[in-house]
């Protein structure tokens, strides 16, 4: 497969690698709940890309989930919910301060919840994961902290709406301050954070380039649709071998 992307990757000062959510909680199979088969391979392939990029002085950025325990999308903050249930405005609009299904550990108010769900469609609730500054929010081996120039936490706010690495972070400001135009993308998962970050990058006038071996997905059927959208949006997908040739 030939990709006309070589012009996007020169000079190297205008290129950054974004490693998104290559964390223990998603890629360590001993944690089970949010691990998907072979997801640890995303971290292994990202390490290969990181080592390659170091030879070309490409900026290396780690963006990772770093959630408060009382997050609005954690099922354990509701008395009547289990992980992967949904919650909607129609369900909570009649809740009152005295009669609601929010546990005391929640760090959001009932009004926060109503405002959030009035703005966004029904949301999937998740098991607790990547709790702030715990080891499970840390990088998955063989990746190490020292592999990256910059570390950016995301989803740190109690009420957060999107999965994108650009949502409620300083990533956009950082990239533009360093005149970075081209983004090499590696991470989990294609049908969540990958797609939304790639689309946001495109809308913010960056050139996102997906490294195919270094991303993983939750569901193949949704990923097939997203790969078609990548093509429509002219978002490039390249292999590590192709990237080596481009950088040469």
Backbone dihedral angles phi then psi of residue 207, each to the nearest 5 degrees:
-110, 95
Model confidence band, residue 37 (pLDDT cutoffs 50, 70, 90): confident
Nearest-angstrom CA–CA distance, 194 and 7 = 23
In this prediction the pTM is 0.89
- Looking at per-residue pLDDT, the higher value among 2 and 54 belongs to 54
* Mean pLDDT (whole number) for 158-177: 89
Nearest-angstrom CA–CA distance, 201 and 209 = 10
Q: Residue 30 pLDDT more than 70?
A: yes
* Mean pLDDT (whole number) for 6-30: 79
**What percent helix, strand, coil does the chain show, rounded to 5?**
40, 20, 40
- What is residue 49's predicted lDDT score, i.e. its pLDDT? 97
Model confidence band, residue 208 (pLDDT cutoffs 50, 70, 90): very high
* Mean pLDDT (whole number) for 83-91: 96
Residues 6+ away with beta carbon under 8 Å from 150: 59, 60, 61, 62, 174
Q: Residue 2 pLDDT more than 50?
A: no
Strands (E) located in the chain = 15-20, 59-65, 86-87, 123-124, 150-154, 182-188, 207-216, 236-238
| pLDDT tens digits along 210-226 | 998 888 777 666 667 77
Q: Are 8 and 182 in contact (CB under 8 A)?
A: yes
Any idea which of 26-35, 70-79, 129-138, 172-181 has the lowest mean pLDDT?
26-35
* Mean pLDDT (whole number) for 17-23: 93
- What is residue 219's predicted lDDT score, i.e. its pLDDT? 67
Q: Residue 1 pLDDT more than 70?
A: no
Pairing outcome for strands 59-65 and 236-238: unpaired
Backbone dihedral angles phi then psi of residue 123, each to the nearest 5 degrees:
-110, 145
Q: Residue 5 pLDDT more than 60?
A: no
Q: Which domains are delineated in the chain?
A: 6-67+129-247 (3.40.50.850), 75-124 (no CATH)
Tokens of 45: 């392939």
Q: Residue 10 pLDDT more than 90?
A: no
- Looking at per-residue pLDDT, the higher value among 78 and 12 belongs to 78
Q: Are 39 and 27 in contact (CB under 8 A)?
A: yes
């Amino acid at each position: 497969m030939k990709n006309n992307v070589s012009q996007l990757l020169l000079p190297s000062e205008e290129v950054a690698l974004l490693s998104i959510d290559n964390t223990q909680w998603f890629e360590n199979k001993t944690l089970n709940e949010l691990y998907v088969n072979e997801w640890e391979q995303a971290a292994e392939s990202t390490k290969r890309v990181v080592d390659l990029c170091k030879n070309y002085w490409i900026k290396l950025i780690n963006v990772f989930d770093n959630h408060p325990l009382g997050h609005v999308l954690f099922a354990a903050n509701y008395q009547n919910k289990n992980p992967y249930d949904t919650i909607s405005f129609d369900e909570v609009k009649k809740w009152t301060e005295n009669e609601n299904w929010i546990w005391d550990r929640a760090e959001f108010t009932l009004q926060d919840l109503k405002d959030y769900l009035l703005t966004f469609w029904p949301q999937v609730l998740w098991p607790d994961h990547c709790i702030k500054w715990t080891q499970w929010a840390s990088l998955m081996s063989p990746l190490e902290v020292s592999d990256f120039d910059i570390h950016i936490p995301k989803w740190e706010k109690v009420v957060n709406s999107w999965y994108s690495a650009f949502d409620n972070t300083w990533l956009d400001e950082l990239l533009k301050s360093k005149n970075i135009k081209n983004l090499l993308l590696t991470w989990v998962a294609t049908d969540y954070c990958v797609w939304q970050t790639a689309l946001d990058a495109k809308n913010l006038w960056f050139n996102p380039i997906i490294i195919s071996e270094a991303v993983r997905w939750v569901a193949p059927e949704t990923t097939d649709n997203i790969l078609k959208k990548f093509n429509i949006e002219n978002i490039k997908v390249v292999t590590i071998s192709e990237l080596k040739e481009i950088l040469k």
